[in-house]
Amino acid sequence: MSAETPVCQLLERQSTDYRGWLWVSPPRDRWLEAAEGGLLSADRALLSAWRERGGVACSPFSAEELAPEGVVLFWPKAHAQGEWWLLWLCARLEPGTPLHVVGENQGGIKRVLKVLAALGLGCRKVDSARRCSLFASRLGRVDIDPDAAWTTFEAEGLTLASHPGVFGHGKLDDGTRLLLAQLDACLPRQGAVLDMGCGDGILAAWLARRGLTTTAVDVNGFAVEATRRTLAANGLEGEVYHADVYAGLAEQRFDAIVSNPPFHQERAVDYGPAGRLIAGAPARLGPGGQLLMVANAFLPYPDLLERAFGGFEILADDRRFRVYRAVKR
């Protein structure tokens, strides 16, 4: 099976025997999934896909002991998250473990040279093709705790935990702010609500503070951990799940689903998660239950809402973002 993505096509042509290596934060690529390596990722959808094929897959937030032959780190769009991965690998794996770092030139992979140098790790360029570059190094002990990447900030009277790679890192997103301004008039004072795509936990914490029974879900393990930390920092309660949209949730029904759904996968536009959120919402809502979501005004969600609910209304539109409300009849 041939590699599908440019970064994996670059790896495929290498003479390195990657059997027994660990793929860290890779893209979806069937060539990788068929290879004899393990997966380390915070992406629930990717973890599930690997496990369904019988592959070894683990999260950085689990307690597995890892001793791979080597590591391939796929450099992410969020450079600070790439730096976190390097710190985590240096802290958790044996010094001297071979390290390859690969990424797209457009995604800033060449910054890795300076990052590795700053950490005191040597580096050499191995190859470049398909507008991607591959660098080689070895892991070593670094006197920086990966947990130092976690920060907090204040918004809406709440303390929010933040981590590189989590949506809205370090600030309140304008779309979320617009959504919050509509919620008070729409939501009941009691009932069960679902925050789908919880990010740093701002919506979950706001809902829990209102007294609603709150469940939060995100496919990104960093977001799940951020939301748990946000709830704890504010003395609030809520269930937080690492899941791909509704997959893995119990057959619970909610009085409302609230969301600022993502539409990017790295730099690519991806309407899939939002589409599944909307299409599956009626089955997860009780009679009279409502979906409240905010999205960029140009996104093609009205047709999806019309198809799923038979109608919807626009609660707010500032030309950049729209807040939609759809009710299960």
187 and 302 belong to one structural domain: yes
137 and 154 belong to one structural domain: no
Last residue of a domain, one of 81, 111, 146: 146
pLDDT of residue 88: 97
pTM of the model: 0.92
pLDDT of residue 266: 46
Last residue of a domain, one of 146, 178, 197: 146
Flag whether 1 is in a domain. no
219 and 306 belong to one structural domain: yes
User: Cα–Cα distance between 168 and 67 in angstroms, integer?
Assistant: 34
Q: What is the pLDDT of residues 169-192, one digit of tens each?
A: 899 999 999 999 999 999 988 999
112 and 160 belong to one structural domain: no
75 and 188 belong to one structural domain: no
Q: How far is CA 108 from the centre of its chain?
A: 19
Q: How far is CA 276 from the centre of its chain?
A: 16
Last residue of a domain, one of 116, 146, 176: 146
197 and 116 belong to one structural domain: no
pLDDT band at 269 (very low <50, low <70, confident <90, very high): very low
Q: What is the CATH number of the domain that holds 126?
A: 3.40.50.150
223 and 270 belong to one structural domain: yes
pLDDT of residue 251: 82
The strand pairing partners of 235, in sequence order, are: none
178 and 314 belong to one structural domain: yes
106 and 251 belong to one structural domain: no
Flag whether 255 is in a domain. yes
Segments forming the whole domain that contains residue 38: 6-146
**CA-based max dimension of the chain:** 62
Q: In what order do the strands lie in the sheet with 57-58?
A: 57-58, 38-40, 21-24, 70-74, 98-104, 132-138, 124-129
pLDDT of residue 249: 87
Q: How many domains does the chain have?
A: 2
pLDDT at 267 over 60: no
Flag whether 128 is in a domain. yes
